[in-house]
Structures are given as structure tokens and as C-alpha cells.
A = this chain, B = another copy of it.
């Protein structure tokens, strides 16, 4: 008689390897035939599952499909940003657990970041209160790398590799002209600078670009930035600057919210009747809407006004989290293994845990130990880049960061190509359907 069934979901923002973790859960589940029955996938996470949407992954995916799924970015099952109610008396819980019972679920896996671990935490606590036998396990995933109790998070290595490689290419591109120039690259990271730090891996020698790197862990000052850029422009033709989207000043104002007043103050100009000096008509003081601009554009304008050199700003945008072609093979392997270990822990009786990594060795002898940590401790916490890994002036990374990040970006996956573009796995009905 087969054992209980698995249900697995994906939640939060996509990454290049969230499907590798899904693949790990499915493969491990399939290999434990004595203990596990069916492997169901929630469509659009808990939100879609509440509406009764799920699929039978063991039925739907062939062995070949799983090979492709492993290297497919974004979330094959669809995702959601759904927060379970704090109040466990909410009928949401009873509805969810009734659905679990209908499907004879014994093991619940949720692949995601902070908010998803909150879901695992709440469900496992509700289950314990109500005497449910279901075991709830979180599989970590976030390009932000901000989960605590784990050395790093699946998804980060691929995003970091994308950033390092793409910044390298932009450095080459920016260096072709003999005119002085500044290029500002804005990278993802609202609260933490893990990903922006990876731009340091683009350097081929000590004095190479990117010349300046700013993380949200340190206070950003426009005056100090101006001095940094001035110094770099004096010693090289082309200056590449990498900044996290979430950098802010000592008053706690995000740089992306900076307007005319802040820039004018630093530039020593008078503001008159809401316009500035006639040179630029853009009213930056109305740039508060973060959907419409980023700190890169603000700094671009500032550098142009201050130094009069050629300036360009580049926002790397969603490709940071969804580039499967530049995914790190190390990351893919670890993400898959995290999924496998999740199943293993659940079968061993763990409940209310998250799969975590601890690092053994460094450089070529880099490897990981896996463990199960208390998901209640993980959720709603945030791991920042240690201040000792950022240089004293706050404009560069220390060697310790590179030692940490370098092993995580090693290797490239072989993505099958068809008609000149990558051949990823996707559910056609999913794309066309009109919910």
C-alpha cells in the first residue's frame, strides 16, 4: 500500500533555480515509492490551491521533462504573493486542511523566501494545534539571499553569476570610447546588497571596473558619492558604478525618491519656482513614484550636472532573476538537492523546518552540509551583508565577500536550444488560460 501523498508549491518571485528545487522534490518523491503515493503540485501556490487548482506532477511530467524542468527559470507551477491570516481561527486554515485531507496529503513542501517560510510556519503550527499528521517543510529560494540560518539561498548564485557576467560585458562595452564616461548600473536589492556585491566578481584585476559599489547596508551620501566619482574620473577614462536599488541616506530617504531639492542642495544651486536652472526640464522632485524611476536615473542626472561627462544608467531588471542561460550550475545542483533533502527530512519526521546549508571548506574544496532548521526562527527575519565585508568608505567590497560568493557562481548548465533560443518547460494551458 503506497504511503501518503506529497503536495508542493512555489511562492514569491521567480528565480533561475526554483524549478530545480521542484525537480528535486519530484525526483526524490518518485524514488521513495514505498513511502510516498502521488506528487501533487499547487498551481499558483496556496492562493491557487485554495481555489482548488493543482496537478498530478508524477502523471504530467516525463523523465525527459524533468531534465528540462531542472534548467527552466521562473516558476513552472505558477506563484503567488499570498499571506496567510495571523488568526488561526480564520476559515482559510480549515479550508486548506480539508483540501489536504481530500488529497490524502502527508507532506507539504513550499519553495520560497521569507514570506513563504511564514506560510510554512503558520501551517505547521496550525497542524500541530489541530493534531494534523501532515509534515510541513520549507525549501529556501530567493535571489536576495536574505534568509537567516543558512549559509546562502538557492537562486542567489545564479543571480550573482548573471550580475557578475553581465557587469563584465557592460564594463567592456562602456570602455570602447576615448571620451570620459560614467556608467551607473542599478541592481536588485531593496534591503540587502548581496546581489549588488556580486558585481565585484566582474573585476579581472584589482583596479578594474566596477570602480565603485554601493549597498543599502551602508548609508549613502551624495556628497561622498561626488567625491568618489571625482577621484575615479581623475584616474581612469571610464568609471563604472554599481548600486543597489534600495540605497538610502542618513535620514532614511531612498535615493530613488530624491528630487530637485536634494540634488540642487548638493550641487550648490538655487531652486526657483520649482524649476532648476533651465538646463534640464525634468522635475525630479516629482520622482517619488518608485515604479517609474530608480536610483540609477537619479544618479545619472546628478553626475551629468556635476561633472558634465557622458553618463548612462542601466537597470538590469528582471533578467537578474530569470536568466536560465546564465544560471550557475552549482546553484542548480544545490537547489535540486535542497528539494531532495526536504523530502528526506519530512519522511524522517521533521515538521515546521526549512532546509538549510552550512559551508564546508572554501575555494576548490567548497562543499555543503544540509540540515533542517526551525522555520519559525527563519521567517520574517532578514540577513544583511556583514558590515565587515564592505570597505570602510562604503564604496567597495572586501575580499571576504568575494571568497564567500565566488564558489556559488561556478559552472554553467547545458540548456537545450531549439530554433536558436532556449527550450524551457512550460504549461501551455497555463499561459493561455484566462483566470
User: A78: which of B48, B177, B291, B417 is its contact (CB, 8 Å)?
Assistant: B177
Residues of B within 8 Å of A432, CB to CB, are: 207, 236
Are B420 and A161 in contact (CB-based, < 8 A)?
A: yes
User: A177: which of B44, B282, B317, B412 is its contact (CB, 8 Å)?
Assistant: B44
Residues of B within 8 Å of A419, CB to CB, are: 201, 406
Q: Which of A133-141, A167-175, A334-342, A345-353 participates in binding chain B? A: A167-175
Cβ < 8 Å to B, chain A residues 272-304: 280-283, 286-289, 291-293, 297, 300-301, 304
Q: Which of A68-76, A87-95, A96-104, A382-390 participates in binding chain B? A: A68-76
Cβ < 8 Å to B, chain A residues 311-339: 312, 314-315, 317-319, 321-326, 328
Are B169 and A319 in contact (CB-based, < 8 A)?
A: yes
Cβ < 8 Å to B, chain A residues 248-285: 280-283
Q: Which of A55-63, A214-222, A367-375, A423-431 participates in binding chain B? A: A423-431
Among A314, A318, A406, the most chain B Cβ lie within 10 Å of the Cβ of A318
User: A175: which of B74, B209, B237 is its contact (CB, 8 Å)?
Assistant: B74
Residues of B within 8 Å of A237, CB to CB, are: 431, 433-435
Are B321 and A173 in contact (CB-based, < 8 A)?
A: yes
Interface residues on A, range: 35 or more
Report the Cα distance A83→B158, complex, angstroms: 42
Report the Cα distance A215→B243, complex, angstroms: 32
Q: In the complex, what's the smallest C-beta–C-beta distance from A240 to chain B, in angstroms?
A: 10
Are A324 and B420 in contact (CB-based, < 8 A)?
A: no
Are B325 and A325 in contact (CB-based, < 8 A)?
A: yes
Are B421 and A172 in contact (CB-based, < 8 A)?
A: no
Are A235 and B434 in contact (CB-based, < 8 A)?
A: yes
Task: Give the nearest-CB partner of A180 in chain B.
Answer: B435
Are B169 and A435 in contact (CB-based, < 8 A)?
A: no
Q: A178 an interface residue at 8 Å Cβ cutoff? A: yes
A172-B424 in contact given A292-B301, A297-B292, A412-B417 (Cβ < 8 Å): yes
Are B165 and A81 in contact (CB-based, < 8 A)?
A: no
Task: Give the nearest-CB partner of A163 in chain B.
Answer: B421
Report the Cα distance A411→B291, complex, angstroms: 37
Q: A164 an interface residue at 8 Å Cβ cutoff? A: yes
Report the Cα distance A297→B432, complex, angstroms: 26
A73-B319 in contact given A292-B282, A432-B236 (Cβ < 8 Å): no
Report the Cα distance A325→B169, complex, angstroms: 9
Q: A47 an interface residue at 8 Å Cβ cutoff? A: yes
A202-B421 in contact given A14-B176, A75-B176, A325-B165 (Cβ < 8 Å): yes
- 8 interchain residue pairs of minimum CB distance: A409-B420, A74-B172, A173-B322, A79-B176, A44-B178, A75-B176, A165-B421, A281-B286
- List 22 A-B residue pairs with CB atoms under 8 Å apart, sorted by A's residue number: A44-B178, A47-B178, A72-B172, A74-B175, A164-B420, A165-B422, A169-B325, A172-B424, A175-B426, A205-B428, A236-B431, A236-B433, A237-B431, A280-B289, A281-B286, A282-B286, A282-B292, A291-B300, A291-B304, A312-B318, A315-B315, A411-B420
